Structure 1
Amino acid sequence: MTELPPFYDDLAGCLAEAWRRLEEGAAHQSGFHTPALATLGRDGAPRLRTVVLRGVDRDSRTVRVHCDARSDKAAEIAADPRAALHAYDPKAKLQVRIEGIARLHGQDAVARAAWEASRPMSRVCYGTVPGPGTPLPDGGAYAQPRDEAAVEAGFPAFRVIVLTAARLEFLYLARPGHRRAVFTWDGEEPGATWLAP
């Protein structure tokens, strides 16, 4: 018989497991390290891309990723802050989906702290010319910063996306029976209920 995890029939345990897995992802310790972020394009169509999970704060119900101010995702969030994050770890057989409101931070204390905590190789991206998504005549027709001053000059293009969860959906796949739950924070009281898988 398959041994079931402690959260299997425990709603609060499912929520705690979701945040634990997200925290592990931000620390490079689980399959949740590279989730997908969805935004709404300016034409109203969904846009989806893989991002790197950089921070999680379960008390404030937030997840943090980084982007370039010149990117489509930054413009999309600025125009419509509704966003969603999807993470799946096939080894753990766990999926977490978060829907909520994203906030962009640029050239403020949040952005500066995240910039300082970033590895030098990650900072290089924000000084690359031209900006993300620019059509090129060939694959290598762009320039990366060559020294520390040029890397630091990329800081104005650095953005932190903080997504606050209004809804978190949890799915655990198990042979004896899957478990799916939803947690919401869109009213006066938080909501939690099981869902049919």
Structure 2
Amino acid sequence: MTELPSFYDDLAGCLAEAWRRLEEGAAHQSGFHTPALATLGRDGAPRLRTVVLRGVDRAARTLRIHCDARSDKAAEIAADPRAALHAYDAKAKLQVRIEGRARLHGGDEVARAAWGASRPMSRVCYGTAPGPGTPLPAGGASVQPQDEGAVAAGFSEFRVVVLTVARLEFLYLARSGHRRALFTWNGEGQGATWLAP
């Protein structure tokens, strides 16, 4: 029989494991590196896409991703900051679902720090023309910046999305019995409970 993890019957341990996996994801060390982010479209319908988890601050309960100011994602967050994130690591048999409020940062201290920490190949995306989602006459009809100045100019389109976690659902799949837990934060503190899987 497979040995059960230490968090198996420990609510606080489940929450700690969720944050640990998210932190590993931001460091490219787990399946949580590329979660799915859901926003509300301007028509009220859900919109879902894969993003790259860039940073996690457990104490502040925030997750950081990057996007282009010209993207639907940025417009949707600006119109309605409610967002959800889903991460699943098949090897670990672990799922985390998060709901919260997202905030866009552009041209400020948060954006400058994230831009400075980004790889040069990532910065190129923000100087590409036309912007994300623009219809093209052919697959290769977009143009990437060709020199450092053009790449640097892309900073004006660079946005940092900081998602503050209000609800985190944890699911661990095990033959001996799945474990599912819910953690919530509001103005009165943190709530925690087991849920039926």
TM-score, normalised by the number of residues in structure 1: 0.99
What's the counterpart of residue 140 of structure 1? Answer: 140
Identity %: 87
CA apart distance, 1:2: 1.7
Q: Confirm whether residue 98 of structure 1 aligns to residue 98 of structure 2.
A: yes
What's the counterpart of residue 183 of structure 1? Answer: 183
Deviations 1:74-126 (A, max 9, x none): 00000000000000000000000110000000000000000000000000000
CA apart distance, 1:176: 0.0
CA apart distance, 1:187: 4.0
What's the counterpart of residue 196 of structure 1? Answer: 196
What's the counterpart of residue 46 of structure 1? Answer: 46
What's the counterpart of residue 119 of structure 1? Answer: 119
Root-mean-square deviation (CA, aligned residues, Å) is 0.5
What is the distance in 2 between the residues matched to 1:60 and 1:181? 20
Q: Give the ranges of 4+ consecutive aligned residues of structure 1 lying more than 3 Å apart after TM superposition.
A: none
Quick one: which amino acid aligns to residue 5 of structure 2? P
Deviations 1:143-197 (A, max 9, x none): 1000111000000000000000000000000000000000000240210000000
What's the counterpart of residue 155 of structure 1? Answer: 155
Query: Which sections of structure 2, spanning at least 5 residues, go unmatched?
Result: none
What's the counterpart of residue 24 of structure 1? Answer: 24
What is the distance in 1 between the residues matched to 2:57 and 2:182? 19
What is the distance in 2 between the residues matched to 1:19 and 1:129? 36
What's the counterpart of residue 172 of structure 2? Answer: 172
What is the distance in 1 between the residues matched to 2:94 and 2:42? 32
Quick one: which amino acid aligns to residue 138 of structure 1? A
What is the distance in 2 between the residues matched to 1:57 and 1:146? 35
- SS at 2:17 equivalent: helix
Q: Confirm whether residue 80 of structure 1 aligns to residue 87 of structure 2.
A: no
What is the distance in 2 between the residues matched to 1:78 and 1:67? 12
What is the distance in 2 between the residues matched to 1:85 and 1:129? 28
| Number of matched pairs | 197
- SS at 1:44 equivalent: coil
What is the distance in 2 between the residues matched to 1:21 and 1:142? 36
TM-score, normalised by the number of residues in structure 2: 0.99
